[in-house]
Every structure is written in structure tokens, then in C-alpha cells.
């Protein structure tokens, strides 16, 4: 099981890298579960991460197609591997599907993949139920789905029973998607997440000194990496192992240089067509 650490800036990104995170995720925790960082800050995080790990970026909750595709294109232009898109405030399945398809189209044009975010507390978020968003993600051609919490008052497994989360993970895998879990998770939550077959767990607060709006701590990331179960990647710049979820690359474990080579070739081909 892979470990994603959400970072708010370059100092956080450096600590996450040195602690052994598999995926670095840019987001502003002051602005909710999927608060996007500014383009300038995203570029600064990208500069720190370089080719050492895949970088994802939270883009907030989709509302307007033009704004969404613009945000996806901006992130893709910086070489982001994944963009995370939520659907709080959207209860129409048809509208969510249109937005997801638009996001994936814009992402593909820039060589990036979409992760559709579902909320365990979907009624509070006024969103679609998580099971419905799995189908939407698959139809849109997304790489994976993330089950998160819109409110950070309670952890994921306090909101959704383990059996429900297990069924959701199984449905995602059956649809050819990788399945990620987040939502105020900490080390003790990793064992059930791993047992359910989650491909990745995402963490912010448990990796920080001072809570989710504090600073990422290298020792805390290292402890979380150990709890995730798989052998941690070596510190950058040596090769490491990263998430290769279903529908992204054919193998589950691929050395990072090979991923980077394929990714660079894809970006070059996209830019040649532009």
C-alpha cells in the first residue's frame, strides 16, 4: 500500500520526500479537503519534487466546466501526474459525468490523469454517493477514485463502516480504477485500509506538527510510511517505487526511472501535437 502526503508548500514537500512518501500531493488545508494551492506555489512544490516522486494536485470541487478545465490545464502544464477533483454541491449524476469527462479530456491533453474524489459524508457535502462516483470515474476514463471526508471532524472509518469501504474498494477495482482512502487517517487506520485492498492512503494532519494546518514532519512521515506496510522508497534522488494503480501502467511495481521515461515521452508527444 502506497503513502500519499499532502503538502502546502516546498518545505512540506521536502520533508515528505525525505520521510519516504510515495506520492506528493499539493493542497491548501486551510480551504477544505481539496483546497488548491496557488499556481506559483504549485510550481515551487514541483521544483522541489522534481522527478523524485509523482506529484498530484487538489483542484477543489468542480462547479464550472471552464474553470475546471482551466485548472486542470494549468496543473498539467507543470508536469503534475494526477489532479484530484471533487463534486461537493453536485447531486446530478449527468452533470457530474459531464464535468468528469471535461476534466479528463483537459488532463489527457496535458499528459495528466484525473482522480475522482468521493465523500464518505456525501450528504453533508451535498454530493453523490461514493458508489455512484465510481461509475462516473470509470465512464470518464479517470485513473482512480479517492474516498475522503468533506468535514475533518471525524476520520473515515468513523463515518463509513469498514464493510461499506471494502465494497467501495472492490467496486473501484472491478471498474479498472485504483482505490485510495483518506479522511483524517492516522497510523492505526492503515491496517484495515491495507486489509481492504486500498492501493494508497492519503494523509495530512497525522503527518504534521500542529495539526493539518501545521508543518509536515519528516519523522512523522517516516513512521506513517512504516505503518503503510510496504518497504519505504529510498531518499531522493535514487530510484524508488511508486503507485502504479490499475489503469495507469500495466505492472504493479515499476522502477521510478521507467515511469519518468514513459511520462516524459507522453508529454513530448502531447506537446508535439499542440
Identify the three-state secondary structure at position 97: helix
Long-range Cβ contacts of 70-76 (<8 Å, 24+ apart): 71/36, 72/103, 72/106, 72/107, 72/110, 72/112, 72/114, 73/106, 73/109, 73/110, 74/39, 75/42, 75/110, 75/112, 76/106, 76/107, 76/109, 76/110, 76/111, 76/112
- Round to whole Å and give the CA distance between 100 and 121: 20
Handedness of CA 69, 36, 219, 166 (dihedral sign): negative
Q: Any catalytic annotation for residue 66?
A: no
Which residue out of 14, 46, 53, 84 is catalytically annotated? 84
- Local structure of residue 206 (DSSP, 8 states): G
Which residue out of 27, 173, 204, 220 is catalytically annotated? 27
Question: Would you please indicate which residues are annotated as catalytic (active-site) residues?
Answer: 27, 84
Amino acid at each position: 500500500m502506497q503513502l500519499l502526503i499532502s503538502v502546502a508548500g516546498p518545505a512540506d514537500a521536502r520533508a515528505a520526500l525525505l520521510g519516504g512518501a510515495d506520492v506528493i500531493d499539493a493542497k491548501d488545508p486551510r480551504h477544505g479537503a481539496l483546497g488548491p494551492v496557488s499556481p506559483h506555489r504549485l510550481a515551487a512544490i514541483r521544483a522541489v519534487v522534481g522527478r523524485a516522486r509523482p506529484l498530484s494536485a487538489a483542484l477543489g470541487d468542480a462547479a464550472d466546466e471552464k474553470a475546471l478545465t482551466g485548472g486542470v490545464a494549468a496543473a498539467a502544464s507543470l508536469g503534475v501526474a494526477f489532479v484530484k477533483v471533487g463534486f461537493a454541491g453536485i447531486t446530478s449524476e449527468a452533470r457530474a459525468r459531464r464535468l468528469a469527462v471535461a476534466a479528463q479530456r483537459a488532463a489527457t491533453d496535458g499528459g495528466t490523469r484525473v482522480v475522482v474524489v468521493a465523500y464518505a459524508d456525501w450528504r453533508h457535502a451535498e454530493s453523490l454517493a461514493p458508489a455512484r462516483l465510481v461509475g462516473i470515474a470509470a465512464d470518464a476514463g479517470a485513473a482512480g477514485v479517492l474516498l475522503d471526508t468533506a468535514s475533518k471532524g471525524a476520520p473515515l472509518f468513523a463515518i463509513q463502516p469498514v464493510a461499506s469501504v471494502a465494497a467501495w474498494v472492490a467496486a473501484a477495482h472491478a471498474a479498472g480504477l485504483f482505490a485510495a482512502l483518506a479522511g483524517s487517517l492516522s497510523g492505526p487506520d492503515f491496517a484495515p485500509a491495507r486489509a481492504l485492498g486500498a492501493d494508497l492512503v492519503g494523509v495530512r494532519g497525522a503527518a504534521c506538527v500542529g495539526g493539518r494546518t501545521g508543518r509536515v514532519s519528516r519523522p512523522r512521515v517516516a513512521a506513517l510510511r512504516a505503518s503503510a506496510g510496504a518497504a519505504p522508497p529510498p531518499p531522493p534522488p535514487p530510484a524508488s517505487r511508486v503507485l502504479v494503480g490499475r489503469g495507469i501502467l500495466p505492472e504493479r511495481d515499476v522502477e521510478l526511472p521507467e515511469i519518468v521515461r514513459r511520462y516524459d515521452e507522453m508529454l513530448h508527444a502531447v506537446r508535439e501535437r499542440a
